[in-house]
């Protein structure tokens, strides 16, 4: 093959690619109407009280994006199946996206309502990547970061949560925020968060149920300081099972019981982080970040 016919070949190939992309974009002659939507993705909770958290987020999102349809998905299959038995049908992220695709949404901003970018968040990214490559699917689909995704977030969350501590707490009393914790490398965000709090108030700690720092790590410090009272607050979006049982429950291995055993009196706050507007604002900022790409690069 000589150079000339090679170039012609490439030219024809390019033309073909150009034509096929135009056909795809117009959906067999029908130009797609731009239809933007939001999908909020939470771990989920079977506690009726969790509705307070989710309703609060939804109201804030609807206020920030007037007229944009908002859908929900829960990543926990166990919780979805449990709720389904009670007649409450909730979608997984892929079910919700399939529905939105069928309803001809062109631009979807998926907002992770997770605290850190752990396994659940990375699974969500894989799902979104799958939808991104589907033929005749969304024009654009983007994911907003979870609550803690940058040093700016760490500072913003620190300021918000310090402001959310009840006024009755005295400076020498400890505050322990209970996070979930994970085997995933992003568990380090809990340790970074703990460091951020400590920089502002040496009596404010972050502990986790399933990762590091553990309550035992914190207990060593409380005992060294002679702390006799601690406030326990969730560092989870929803005050669900972990908060009501692992944190505030009566069982001997709950955090209140372990601290009582060590002679430390506790006060518990049963309010998920998503019930605080100043925290929801941070998720909404992340969603705005994702959504703004639709205007900049439609």
DSSP string, 26-86: HTTT-PPPP-EEEEEEE-----TTHHHHHHHHHHHHHHHSTT--EEEEE--HHHHHHHHHT
Which is nearest to 270 in space by CA: 245, 233, 241?
Answer: 233
Query: Checking DSSP bridges between strand 140-144 and strand 204-208, what pairing results, if any?
Result: unpaired
CA distance 282 to 173: 27
The reply to whether 114 belongs to the active site is no
CA distance 285 to 57: 12
Instruction: Please state the length of the chain.
Output: 298
CA distance 285 to 283: 5
Among 107, 114, 180, 242, the active-site one is: 180
Q: What is the DSSP letter of 269?
A: -
Residues annotated as catalytic (active site), given as ranges: 180
């Amino acid at each position: 093959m000589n150079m000339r016919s090679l170039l012609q070949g490439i030219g024809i190939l390019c033309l073909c690619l150009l034509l096929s992309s135009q056909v795809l974009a117009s959906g067999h002659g029908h130009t797609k109407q731009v239809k933007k939507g939001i999908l909020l993705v939470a771990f989920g909770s079977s506690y009726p009280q969790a509705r307070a958290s989710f309703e609060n987020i939804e109201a804030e999102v609807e206020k920030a994006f007037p007229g944009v349809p908002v859908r929900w998905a829960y990543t926990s299959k166990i919780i979805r199946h449990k709720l389904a038995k009670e007649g409450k049908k909730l979608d997984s992220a892929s079910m919700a996206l399939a529905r939105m695709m069928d309803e001809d949404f062109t631009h979807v901003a998926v907002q992770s309502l997770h605290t850190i970018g752990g396994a659940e968040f990375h699974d969500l990214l894989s799902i979104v990547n799958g939808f991104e490559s589907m033929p005749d699917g969304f024009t654009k689909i983007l994911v907003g970061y979870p609550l803690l995704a940058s040093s700016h977030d760490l500072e913003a969350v620190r300021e918000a949560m310090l402001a959310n501590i009840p006024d009755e707490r005295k400076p020498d009393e400890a505050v322990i925020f209970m996070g979930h914790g994970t085997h995933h490398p992003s568990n380090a965000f809990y340790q970074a968060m703990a460091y951020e709090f400590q920089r502002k108030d040496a009596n404010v700690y972050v502990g986790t149920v399933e990762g590091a720092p553990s309550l035992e790590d914190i207990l060593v410090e409380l005992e060294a300081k002679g702390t006799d009272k601690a406030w326990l607050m969730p560092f989870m979006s929803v005050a669900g099972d972990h908060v009501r049982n692992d944190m505030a429950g009566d069982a001997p291995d709950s955090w209140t019981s372990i601290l009582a055993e060590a002679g430390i009196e506790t006060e518990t706050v049963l309010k998920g982080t998503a019930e605080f507007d100043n925290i929801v604002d941070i998720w909404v900022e992340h969603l705005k970040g994702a959504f703004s790409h639709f205007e900049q690069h439609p």
